[in-house]
Amino acid sequence: MRQQTAIAAKVFIQRDYTNGTVCQFQTKFPSELETRIEKQQFEETVRTLNNLYAEAEKLGSQSYIEGCLACLTAYTIFLCMETHYEKVLKKIAKYIQEQNDKIYAPRGLLLTDPIERGLRVIEVTIFEDRSLTR
Amino acid sequence: MMKNCEYQQIDPRALTVSPSSAQIHTVKKVQRLRRKWEVFPGKNRFLCDGRFILARQSGVLPLTLGLIIVTCCLFFAFDCPFLVEHLTVFIPVIGGMLFLFVTISLLRTSFTDPGILPRATPDEAADIEKQIDTSGSSTYRPPPRTKEILINQQVVKLKYCFTCKMFRPPRTSHCSLCDNCVERFDHHCPWVGNCVGKRNYRFFYSFIVSLSFLTSFIFGCVITHITLRYQAGKSILQAIQESPASVVELVICFFSIWSILGLSGFHTYLVASNLTTNEDIKGSWSSKRGTEDSGNPYSYNSIITNCCATLCGPMPPSLIDRRGFLPPDEAGPAASTSEIELPPFAAKNGTHMCTQSTKDVLERMVHSSEFQGLCPPGIPKTTPLGLEGSNTAAPSTEPLPSAGCSRHHACHSVVTPCPPFSRSSRRDSLHSINPAFRLASPSPSLSHTTLILGDAPDMGFILPREHPLTTGEDEES
């Protein structure tokens, strides 16, 4: 794809640590995307992602039960069972795919799943707008 | 420059005829897809095709395992028969369960990814650089960078990691022994042969707690054993002579108990206050700075919640994706990103010299049958050339690996096909064709050249690349 569509720029949405080490991303709208997508749409995407990550890391009864069960089985249960976090990560991957297909790709943008960047950034690749270069 | 990239990823084993660009392209496709662990930049060892991760220096893990196994074997062989006879059959049962739990916890601590953060991709690093350095070109290493953020209304300083090229998230530290940034870094434990961080802290804690129970249990049982023999009318010396193994166990347990119990107590305190060993030692949240600054911003202010969060919280996934496949390397026009890092003169000279030597090399490669054996293995560090001083003047509290680190042992036991050319080299005039020279020469304190292939968006870390036949070693640290 790179050979066919040139990458104009990459924007990185950094992590937001104001609530501690939980995985949250900054919802500030980057200026480079102003011409490509509506502010609200983008913020909505980031907010949904933040909510999904919060759900993954939530300290609730489910995570405690999972943790205690794991401890009792000497953590061997992780060999057969998928953790709650992993399940949510799959949900996130699906959501990002969906967003890319429906909203971002038609605008010449591409969201990269943060897990591929070590949960450090949301990478938004801005592709060259072909229509302008004709 | 694009032309040079055509010479990347040449698998010498696949070369049978004189090289031409067309054939090189087809040869590329024949190459087996590699997994990400094979090019991992940190100092780690991988077992079972990337399923298990271990620090390169296994420390005294064999000793730890050996001590545990030997003590337990002696216990089961010599003390248990007597105790089963005189007391109860549950003694070996409990002992066995404890032993299993201890061993499994130990192995999980050792072989689990502690929470390693993959290094920043070149694009990310460039973006960060751009945000910080607004004054223009940086042809020398900038001063150490910190960023202040507010966490729960408390000011926390984030440090920039020169090796991983990113601002470290809070509670993350760079381990110099493993050369990785580890999330919620506690400490590097030589007994376990791995870092203890976010992902394996609970295993480590259960290991030391269960080990305290095990050593106390064995100690108690051995004392009971000797006491019972003594009470049966024999003297202490006679009792000991009848069961000499018990003395060995006594000695081992006696010395272990103090340290293990102490460690368990210390870590219980840390868990209850949601601190890491690193923070406790550095006194990050002590009240010495004044009342308004003190206080751990990560604590939930409740012992139970802290314990649950640390030990029973959700298990975060490994971020380094060891077993993922690398995308087949494309000719990366990464010049734009890499040039920011490299001094201009080196970049220019490097490409020119590399072209020359590459062509020479190709001819030799075709004729050399021993080439594969000489191909340098190993995954060098990824600190870019521009940050050469980072090794000597570490901005962080954890010193970056010293100049003497064993690059020679950097082989992950994978003979990588000859990596593509190195984009820059300070000693271009000393390009050596013989890769064996690379392994033999001493490493100055310069860091590796990073060939930044910014083309693969899936890679979570900078892929170091070295031209096998240029002086890779002049950048070694």
Query: pLDDT tens digits, residue range B143-161?
Result: 567 888 888 888 888 888 8
Sign of the Cα pseudo-torsion (A125, A128, A131, B2, in order)? negative
A45 is a domain residue? yes
Predicted structure pTM score: 0.68
- The number of distinct structural domains making up chain A is 1
HEC string for chain B: CHHHHCCCCCCHHHCCCCCCHHHHHHHHHHCCCCEHHHHCCCCEEEECCCCEEEECCCCCHHHHHHHHHHHHHHHHHHHHHHHHHHCCCHHHHHHHHHHHHHHHHHHHHHHCCCCEECCCCHHHHHHHHHHHCCCCCCCCCCCCCEEEEEECCEEEEEEEECCCCEECCCCCEEECCCCEEECCCCEEECCCCEEECCCCHHHHHHHHHHHHHHHHHHHHHHHHHHHHHHHCCCCHHHHHHHCHHHHHHHHHHHHHHHHHHHHHHHHHHHHHCCCCHHHHHHCCCCHHHCCCCCCCCCCCCCHHHHHHHHHHCCCCCCCCCCCCECCCCCCCCCHHHHHHHCCHHHHHHHHHHHHHHHHHHHHHHHHCCCHHHHCCCCCCCCCCHHHHHHHCCCCCCCCCCCCCCCHHHCCCCCCCCCCCCCCCCCCHHHCCCCHHHHHHCCCCCCCCCCCCCCCCCCCCCCCCCCCCCCCCHHHCC
Mean pLDDT for B311-332 is 74
Mean pLDDT for B36-61 is 80
> Which among B291, B309, B327 is the end of a domain?
B327
B6 is a domain residue? no
A1 is a domain residue? no
What is the total residue count of chain B? 477
What is the reported pLDDT for B365?
A: 53
Q: How many CB atoms lie under 10 A from the CB of residue B302? A: 12
A134 is a domain residue? no
- What percentage of chain B carries pLDDT values higher than 90? 18
Q: If you measure CA to CA, which chain B residue comes closest to A118? A: B319
Rounded Cα distance, B306 and B298, in Å: 9
Residues B319 and B189 in one domain: yes
Rounded Cα distance, B31 and B46, in Å: 21
Q: Which residues contact B144 (CB under 8 A, 6 or more apart)?
A: B159, B160, B395, B396
User: Which residues of B are annotated as catalytic?
Assistant: 189
Query: Which of the four pLDDT bands, split at 50, 70 and 90, describes residue B473?
Result: very low
Of B108, B124, B315, the CB nearest to A12: B124
What is the reported pLDDT for B364?
A: 55
Q: Look at residue B428 and tell me whether its pLDDT is greater than 80.
A: no
Rounded Cα distance, A24 and A13, in Å: 10
Rounded Cα distance, B215 and B211, in Å: 6
Residues of chain A with C-beta less than 8 angstroms from the C-beta of B203: 75
A133 is a domain residue? no
B464 is a domain residue? no
What is the reported pLDDT for B36?
A: 79
The count of CB pairs under 8 A between chains A and B is 112
Kindly report the average pLDDT of chain A as a whole number.
Answer: 85
For A32-48, what is each residue's pLDDT tens digit? 888 888 899 999 999 99
Mean pLDDT for B296-314 is 84
Q: Look at residue B466 and tell me whether its pLDDT is greater than 60.
A: no
A66 is a domain residue? yes
- Say if CB A119 and CB B117 are below 8 A apart: no
B18 is a domain residue? no
B280 is a domain residue? yes
For B245-300, what is each residue's pLDDT tens digit? 888 888 888 999 999 999 999 999 999 988 888 888 888 776 555 445 557 788 88
Residues B297 and B247 in one domain: yes
Mean pLDDT for A20-36 is 87
B312 is a domain residue? yes
- Quote the minimal CA–CA distance from B201 to chain A in Å: 12
Query: Which of the four pLDDT bands, split at 50, 70 and 90, describes residue B329?
Result: low
Residues B72 and B101 in one domain: yes
Cβ of A118 within 8 Å of Cβ of B319? The answer is yes
What is the reported pLDDT for B360?
A: 54
For A81-118, what is each residue's pLDDT tens digit? 888 888 899 999 999 999 999 988 888 889 999 988 88
Of A59, A66, A120, the CB nearest to B309: A59
What is the reported pLDDT for B368?
A: 53
Q: Which of B116, B119, B270 is nearest to B199 (CA)?
A: B116
Residues B211 and B137 in one domain: no
Pick the most confident of B7-21, B163-177, B445-459: B163-177
B129 is a domain residue? yes
Query: Which of the four pLDDT bands, split at 50, 70 and 90, describes residue B416?
Result: very low
- The number of distinct structural domains making up chain B is 2
Residues B287 and B270 in one domain: yes
What is the reported pLDDT for B370?
A: 47
The answer to whether A1 contacts chain B (CB < 8 Å) is no
Rounded Cα distance, A36 and A5, in Å: 16
- Say if CB B37 and CB B322 are below 8 A apart: yes
Of B117, B150, B203, the CB nearest to A75: B203
Residues of chain A with C-beta less than 8 angstroms from the C-beta of B315: 66-67, 70, 78, 83, 85
Q: A83 vs B19, which has greater pLDDT? A: A83
What residues make up the domain containing A94?
7-29+36-127
What is the reported pLDDT for B201?
A: 93
Residues of chain A with C-beta less than 8 angstroms from the C-beta of B297: 20
Q: Which residues contact B142 (CB under 8 A, 6 or more apart)?
A: B132, B133
A65 is a domain residue? yes
Residues B225 and B313 in one domain: yes
Least confident of B37-51, B70-84, B157-171: B37-51
- Quote the minimal CA–CA distance from A19 to chain B in Å: 6
How far are the Cα atoms of A91, B202, B206, B237, B278 from residue B269, in angstroms, in the given order?
36, 14, 14, 41, 14
Cβ of A83 within 8 Å of Cβ of B105? The answer is no
Which pair of structure tokens corresponds to residue B21? 């660009």
Mean pLDDT for B94-108 is 92
Q: Which of A103, A121, A106, A107 is nearest to A23 (CA)?
A: A121
What is the reported pLDDT for A50?
A: 93
B173 is a domain residue? no
The answer to whether A76 contacts chain B (CB < 8 Å) is yes
Mean pLDDT for B204-217 is 94
Kindly report the average pLDDT of chain B as a whole number.
Answer: 69
Mean pLDDT for B328-335 is 47
Cβ of A118 within 8 Å of Cβ of B311? The answer is no
Residues B272 and B131 in one domain: no
What is the reported pLDDT for B470?
A: 44
- What percentage of chain A carries pLDDT values higher than 70? 92
Mean pLDDT for B81-97 is 89
Q: Look at residue B95 and tell me whether its pLDDT is greater than 70.
A: yes
Mean pLDDT for B183-210 is 92
A18 is a domain residue? yes
What residues make up the domain containing B146?
122-168
Of A18, A67, A120, the CB nearest to B311: A67
Taking a contact as any Cβ pair under 8 Å apart, which residues of chain B between 7 and 46 contact chain A? none
Q: B365 vs B40, which has greater pLDDT? A: B40
Residues B81 and B230 in one domain: yes
Phi, psi dihedral angles at B140 (to 5 degrees): -130, 170
Residues B53 and B141 in one domain: no
Taking a contact as any Cβ pair under 8 Å apart, which residues of chain B between 55 and 114 contact chain A? 100-101, 104-105, 108
Q: Which of B124, B178, B115 is nearest to B460 (CA)?
A: B124
Residues B226 and B162 in one domain: no
Residues B92 and B207 in one domain: yes
Based on its alpha-carbon atoms, the radius of gyration of chain B, rounded to whole angstroms, reads 27
What is the reported pLDDT for B214?
A: 94
Rounded Cα distance, A25 and A19, in Å: 11
Residues B81 and B141 in one domain: no
For B349-403, what is each residue's pLDDT tens digit? 444 444 444 455 555 555 554 444 444 444 444 444 333 333 333 334 444 334 3
- Say if CB B173 and CB B395 are below 8 A apart: no
Beta-ladder partners of B55:
B44
